[in-house]
Amino acid sequence: MITEKFRKAHFLISRQNIPLIFIEMLIWIVSVGGIAFLWNKWLISGPYGPYRWIGMDFVPYWVGVRQMIHGISPYGIGTTLKIQQAVYGGSAINVDPMMFVYPAYMFILVAPLGLLPLNWAVALFAGTLTWGLINLILVLAFQWSKDFSHRALLGTVLVIGSLPFFVISISKGQIGYLGMGALFIAWRFWDRKPFLSGALLGLAIMKPTAIIVPVIGYLLWSLVKKNFIPIFGFLFTLMILMVGSLLAVGNWIPSYLDVLKTGGGAPVIWSLQALVYPWNIVYIVSVMALLIYAVRISVHQGDHNLWMSAFILAGIAFFPMRWIYDLFLGILIPSQEKDLSSLSILSVSLAVISPWLLILFPESSRWNFAAIMIPLAWSLSLITMVARRNNIPTQ
């Protein structure tokens, strides 16, 4: 009798989900189709003539993984030339060097796309990232408020604020957004499926720039709470990825460390070099003070959401990559909050649309300004979260 009731309930739930599944499939198809349409339409001038903007940053992992399939190091000069040939039509001349600057353990994850033609691989990857962005906007807008007008406002702000990141990052196939999605889902699964949550963290560090600090924070919280299951899940995924990559090309770690020494053409701690002394010290001390204060409240109240938000802020404040690639990670700072107060909605809205201020600055100083301004904007959101925990009125 119980089994029969369970089957009926499961059948009804499945039928109720059919429209949602259909809508999600439609959004995904449109997203992939849109990227495929733009593939040969969105061109910019380069050293050998026009070249494609769509999927430009996806090319290094696609070429690198294809080389690994044949047992060739993705960090070699030959691989770099192949990458530049695929992007520009020849070697890089006074432009972004376009190198493989990622841990080779991404091999297993990217290998299926490496078997596809480049245009198909780009359409699937960047289209799926676009689909994920649309879903994130909808989830956050509905979660942050129960009021319809507030939801409409938040949805509009999120769409406008995400456009710069779509144009500069997602449409180019930045793999950091895959890590961002993995971190977001891992955070959601923390209580229900701790092993899976930890396993997703292994995928989150495919591009260990700004996201490495939140991952470390996540693992530290597991230690604080003596919950070692997420750590086992993380190590399990990391072991699979490492073994797969080592079997493909042998010990790639020394070559990767050499790439890190050169910075892959860009400084590692870019945001700290964007400010002159003593302002860079003031910046460091301010962010660290907010991190320590939020961590103290988190431990006292057992609030892992505030803990993670503080570590995400530290990640984007200290280790963002060049341009604004990794700074969209700031959207995760309030991503677990519900029913935001008026002040919180205002602070989140200001942080979300802050990248549009960059058009007021010349390109020579635009990205240095972004590396400082956007984390500071998100710090206001974290401050409202801290105030909420301290029962300070934020209406």
pLDDT of amino acid 36: 97
CA–CA distance, 330 with 146 (Å, rounded to integer):
23
For 287-323, write each residue's pLDDT tens digit.
999 999 999 999 999 999 999 999 999 999 988 876 7
C-alpha to C-alpha distance for 29 and 131, rounded to whole angstroms: 9
CA distance to 224, 291, 394, per residue, from 295 (Å)? 11, 6, 21
pLDDT at 345: 94
pLDDT value at position 258?
86
pLDDT of residue 321: 72
Confidence of residue 275 (pLDDT cuts 50, 70, 90): confident
54 neighbors 39 (Cβ within 8 angstroms): yes
Cβ-Cβ contacts under 8 Å for 152 (sequence gap 6 or more) = 141
CA 369/CA 20 separation, integer angstroms: 41
> Residue 119 has what pLDDT?
96
* Least trusted range by pLDDT, from 25-39, 209-223, 364-378: 364-378
pLDDT at 221 over 60: yes
Contact 154, 345 (CB under 8 A): yes
- Compute the mean pLDDT over every residue in the chain, rounded to the nearest whole number: 90
Mean per-residue pLDDT for 346-352? 96
Q: Which of 34-48, 89-103, 172-186 has the lowest mean pLDDT?
A: 89-103
Average pLDDT over residues 134-139: 96
Q: What is the pLDDT of residue 268?
A: 53
State CA 237 to chain mean position distance.
18
Cα distances (Å, whole numbers) of residue 65 to 18, 69, 103, 112, 189: 37, 6, 11, 9, 30
pLDDT at 38 over 70: yes
**12-20 mean pLDDT:** 67
pLDDT at 94: 81
Predicted local distance difference test score (pLDDT) of residue 206? 87
Over range 122-136, report the average pLDDT: 97
Work out the average pLDDT over 389-394. Answer: 75
Give the model's confidence band at 269: pLDDT under 50 very low, under 70 low, under 90 confident, else very high: low
Contacts 24+ apart (CB under 8 A), 222-225: 222/198, 224/299, 225/304
Instruction: Kindly indicate the confidence band of residue 324, based on its pLDDT and cuts at 50, 70 and 90.
Output: confident
Number of continuous H segments (helices) and E segments (strands) in the chain: 16, 2
Cβ-contact 352, 161 below 8 angstroms = yes
Averaged pLDDT for residues 241-255:
93
State mean pLDDT over 135-156. Answer: 94
Local confidence band at 363 (pLDDT 50, 70, 90 cut-offs)? confident
Of the candidate ranges 9-18, 64-73, 250-259, 326-335, the one whose mean pLDDT is the lowest? 9-18
CB atoms within 10 A of CB 231: 17
End-to-end CA distance of the chain: 51
Residues listed for the chain: 395
Predicted confidence band of residue 69 (pLDDT cuts 50, 70, 90): very high
Which range of 99-108, 345-354, 362-371 scores highest in mean pLDDT? It is: 345-354
| 97 cis-preceded (ω within 30 degrees of 0) | no
- Distance CA(312)–CA(140), nearest Å, equals 17
Tens of pLDDT, residue by residue over 375-391, are 999 999 999 999 999 88
Report the pLDDT averaged over residues 88-101: 88
Tell me how far apart the alpha carbons of residues 142 and 150 are, in angstroms, rounded to a whole number. 9
* Backbone φ/ψ region at 34: left (φ over 0), alpha (ψ -120 to 50), beta: alpha
Q: Is the model's pLDDT at 201 over the cut of 90? A: yes
Q: What is the pLDDT of residue 170?
A: 95
Q: What percent of the chain has pLDDT over 90?
A: 74
Q: 236 to each of 139, 203, 231, 239, 242, how far by Cα in Å? A: 30, 11, 8, 5, 10
Per-residue pLDDT averaged across 100-110, rounded? 91
Question: Tokens in use for 306?
Answer: 């505030």
**pLDDT number for residue 264:** 52
Least confidently predicted of 130-134, 228-232, 389-393: 389-393
